């Protein structure tokens, strides 16, 4: 009996237990209906029984057919899917490569084979077949997701599945070209400014001015036509530039030679004219693009002019030119305007805080004392923020002298004390720097970032406060003390003037930054020094403040003993890996190297107390050390710059510096 039951095969749709219970319940209900009907009308029970039996047979037949058709459809679909997978591996436009642990090719689909021509692939090492592809695969073994790579003349989106040894390559060359064309047709807007046009033309007659204007306009028009750009003169000293990005890229490869052409040709006529250009692209909003181009022009001018700043939205700026020292302005109009603007800000302020950079030098401290006196002359309390734990010997000697003057001593505060006293109406003046990252009181800056004034003589860098209330950056100036000294002439009369100690400190700041008036000095530098002397600046006291101590002198000479020529006319000194040097000693060693015959630029690499490796760079002006240091994450002035690099050894930093110098010389 059991064997008989085992041979009985239920319809496929009754193999589901739940359906069996449903069918049994429905059959039971139908049977009950027939029994009940037999008591009422026997013939009605017979009719119902026949009807239900027919319905049951029809339902079973329909369900059986549906099940058979469904199974047939599923089988057919599974076959098609499997066949599609097989066809896809062979015919789909995606290259598929299988390799083993030795990077030997085990299989490649026909689509990928076409990139190798008739070369036999199976069993061959990928490195022997195509070293470039082998390198791409090995470089992306641990990469996740799609990676865009270039192989030969094609661009691909590549996925490497290391676990199963498969490489997928989708050729996107066509789409990459479309994307490149779209990027190349984006608009770039530029602002062109003739740096010293007013200074030059004020001494020229009308005919000479007309000839100069014609020359510059013709040169700019020819330059624009050569590279497919549009240039329009909108003022005597200003042009507007519109170009496609693809044209701009060609100009960048040309290194903006128009700067050199105009500067050199006008110099031959004794009218050395220079250009500054700010260019922006990468935005759809043209009005915002124009504002950004003006901001880039301001950055170029803030770095001394005679250069180009090109910036794509969201990217770092590219700098071109800037090979010459900024020329001294012969007018003091700007100094007067800044002095007046500063007086207006003082009226809206309850107290003033002035802060220099970390490890301040004489210029930063002297400038701070100068601003304090100007604030006092305008009836405002001013405090000079100094961190006593990071002072060099010359500044310590100055602080000792300040301690003997109660009035000034009470105005010297620590960063913590300044932070506690500052209010929402206080004013913060940054002197001798414009980077928030190197300020001596970062927390104070964060609190007063919206009420900040910047007075500096270094070239402006990319890092810059977002919305300063007043900016006075003049790279032509020898020092910040020089800029502040000029502002005393425009202060209220009858107010207490500089005292002897303040004037001496400011003179010491100028002396330090000009290397005893031998570098970066102009007529206004000596005018400022003369003014300070007339207010009691003591030359002998200045000399005593700037004296070196014996240990510093020995360490400096020890560094100089390591001198080597890293490039023609470029000297390099390096300290030991295990010894930390004071940055001021490294800077003094770099200055000393410039006094040697045949050296136009000097670099000193030392380990710092914070375990970073620092580079002090100096030049006589022919080598732009600022550009070199900016490429290594630092900055400064054309002839005076520095940088600090973390997580590198002195040997590694030396190699980075050598490579940067080599690349810069190749570009020039």
Residues 113 and 120: beta-carbon distance below 8 Å = no
What is the predicted pLDDT for the residue at 574? 93
Residues 459 and 342: beta-carbon distance below 8 Å = no
Q: What is the mean pLDDT of residues 340-359?
A: 91
3-state secondary structure (DSSP) of residue 27: helix
Task: Measure the CA–CA gap between 618 and 587, rounded to whole angstroms.
Answer: 8
* pLDDT of 196 strictly over 80: yes
**pLDDT of 479-521, one tens digit each?**
999 999 999 988 887 777 889 999 999 999 999 888 888 777 8
Residue 443's pLDDT band (cuts 50, 70, 90): very high
Q: Please tell me if the domain spanning 185-321 has the same topology as the one spanning 333-545.
A: no
3-state secondary structure (DSSP) of residue 17: helix
CATH number of 551-667: 3.10.310.30
**pLDDT of 610-662, one tens digit each?**
889 999 999 887 888 888 888 898 887 778 888 999 889 999 999 999 999 98
* pLDDT of 182 strictly over 90: no
Has domain 185-321 been given CATH number 3.40.50.970? no
Residues 486 and 332: beta-carbon distance below 8 Å = yes
* pLDDT of 428 strictly over 90: yes
Task: Measure the CA–CA gap between 109 and 88, rounded to whole angstroms.
Answer: 9
At the top level of CATH, the class of 333-545 is alpha beta
- CB 380: neighbour CB atoms within 10 A? 18
Token pair belonging to 25? 């319940």
What is the predicted pLDDT for the residue at 326? 61
Model pTM above 0.75: no
Residue 318's pLDDT band (cuts 50, 70, 90): confident
Token pair belonging to 355? 């802060």
Task: Measure the CA–CA gap between 101 and 335, rounded to whole angstroms.
Answer: 72
**pLDDT of 327-349, one tens digit each?**
555 467 778 888 888 998 998 89
- Region for 638 from its dihedrals, namely left if φ exceeds 0, alpha if ψ lies in -120 to 50, beta otherwise: alpha
Least Cα distance to 468 among 440, 439, 434 occurs for: 434
Token pair belonging to 631? 């490429």
If one compares 527 and 72, the residue with the highest pLDDT of the two is 527
Residue 310's pLDDT band (cuts 50, 70, 90): very high
Percent of the chain with pLDDT over 70: 92
Least Cα distance to 346 among 292, 426, 291, 420 occurs for: 426
Residue 5's pLDDT band (cuts 50, 70, 90): very low
Residues 305 and 237: beta-carbon distance below 8 Å = no
Provide the residue ranges of all domains of the chain, joining segments of one domain with +. Answer: 11-88, 92-176, 185-321, 333-545, 551-667
Residues 475 and 505: beta-carbon distance below 8 Å = no
Q: What is the mean pLDDT of residues 398-408?
A: 90
CATH of range 92-176; options 3.30.450.20, 3.40.50.150, 1.20.1440.130, 3.90.1150.10: 3.30.450.20
- Phi and psi (nearest 5°) for 315? -115, 165
3-state secondary structure (DSSP) of residue 354: strand
* pLDDT of 40 strictly over 80: no
Residue 20's pLDDT band (cuts 50, 70, 90): low
Token pair belonging to 3? 């064997």
* pLDDT of 23 strictly over 70: no
């Amino acid at each position: 009996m059991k064997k008989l039951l085992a041979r009985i095969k239920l319809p496929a749709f009754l193999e589901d237990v739940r359906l069996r219970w449903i069918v049994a319940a429905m059959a039971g209900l139908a049977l009950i209906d027939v029994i009940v009907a037999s008591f009422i009308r026997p013939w009605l029970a017979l009719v119902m029984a026949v009807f239900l039996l027919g319905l049951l047979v029809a339902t079973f037949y329909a369900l059986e057919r549906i099940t058979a058709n469904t199974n047939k459809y599923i089988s057919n679909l599974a076959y098609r899917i499997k066949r599609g997978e097989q066809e896809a591996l062979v015919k789909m436009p995606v290259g598929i490569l299988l390799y083993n642990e030795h990077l030997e090719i085990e299989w490649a689909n026909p689509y990928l084979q076409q990139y190798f021509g008739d070369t036999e692939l199976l069993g061959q090492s990928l490195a022997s077949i195509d070293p470039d592809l082998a390198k791409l695969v090995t470089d992306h073994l641990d990469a996740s997701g799609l990676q865009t790579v270039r192989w030969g003349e094609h661009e691909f989106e590549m996925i490497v599945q290391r676990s199963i040894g498969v490489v997928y390559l989708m050729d996107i060359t066509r789409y990459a070209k479309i994307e490149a064309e779209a990027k190349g047709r984006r608009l770039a807007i530029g602002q062109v400014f003739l740096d010293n046009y007013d200074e030059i033309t004020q001494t020229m007659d009308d005919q000479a001015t007309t000839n100069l204007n014609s020359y510059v306009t013709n040169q700019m028009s020819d330059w624009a036509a050569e590279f497919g750009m549009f240039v329009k003169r909108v003022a005597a000293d200003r042009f507007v530039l519109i170009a496609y990005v693809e044209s701009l890229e060609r100009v960048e490869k040309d290194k903006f030679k128009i700067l050199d052409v105009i500067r050199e040709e006008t110099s031959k006529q004794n009218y050395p004219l220079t250009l500054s250009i700010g260019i922006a692209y990468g935005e759809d909003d043209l009005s915002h693009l124009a504002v950004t181009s003006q901001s880039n022009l301001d950055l170029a001018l803030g770095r001394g002019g005679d250069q180009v700043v090109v910036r794509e939205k969201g990217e770092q700026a590219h700098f071109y030119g800037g090979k010459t020292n900024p020329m001294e302005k012969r007018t003091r109009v700007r100094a007067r305007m800044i002095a007046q603007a500063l007086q207006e800000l003082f009226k809206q302020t309850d107290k003033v805080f002035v802060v220099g950079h970390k490890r301040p030098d004489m210029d930063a401290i002297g400038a701070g004392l100068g601003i304090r006196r100007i604030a006092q002359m305008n009836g405002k309390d001013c405090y000079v923020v100094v961190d006593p734990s990071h002072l060099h010997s010359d500044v310590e000697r100055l602080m000792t002298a300040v301690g003997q003057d109660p009035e000034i001593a009470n105005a010297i505060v620590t960063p913590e004390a300044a932070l506690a006293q500052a209010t929402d109406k206080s004013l913060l003046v940054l002197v001798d720097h414009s980077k928030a990252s190197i300020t001596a009181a970062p927390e104070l800056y964060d609190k007063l970032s919206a009420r900040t004034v910047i007075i500096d003589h270094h070239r402006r860098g990319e890092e810059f406060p977002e919305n300063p209330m007043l900016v006075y950056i003049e790279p032509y100036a020898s020092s910040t003390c020089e800029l502040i000294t000029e502002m005393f002439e425009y202060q209220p009369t009858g107010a207490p003037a500089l005292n002897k100690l303040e004037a001496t400190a400011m003179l010491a700041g100028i002396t330090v930054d000009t290397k005893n008036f031998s570098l970066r000095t102009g007529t206004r530098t000596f005018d400022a020094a003369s003014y300070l002397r007339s207010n009691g600046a003591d030359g002998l006291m200045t000399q005593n403040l700037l004296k070196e101590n014996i240990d510093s002198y020995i360490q400096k000479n020890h560094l100089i003993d390591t001198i080597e020529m890293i490039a023609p006319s470029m000297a390099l000194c390096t300290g030991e890996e295990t010894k930390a040097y004071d940055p001021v000693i490294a800077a003094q060693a770099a200055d000393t190297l410039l006094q040697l015959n045949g050296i136009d630029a000097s670099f000193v690499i030392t380990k710092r107390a914070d375990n970073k490796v620092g580079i002090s760079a100096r030049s006589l002006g022919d080598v732009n050390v600022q550009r070199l240091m900016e490429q290594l994450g630092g900055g400064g002035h054309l002839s005076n710059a520095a940088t600090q690099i973390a997580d590198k050894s002195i040997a590694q930093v030396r190699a980075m510096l050598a490579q940067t110098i080599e690349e810069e010389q190749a570009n020039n």
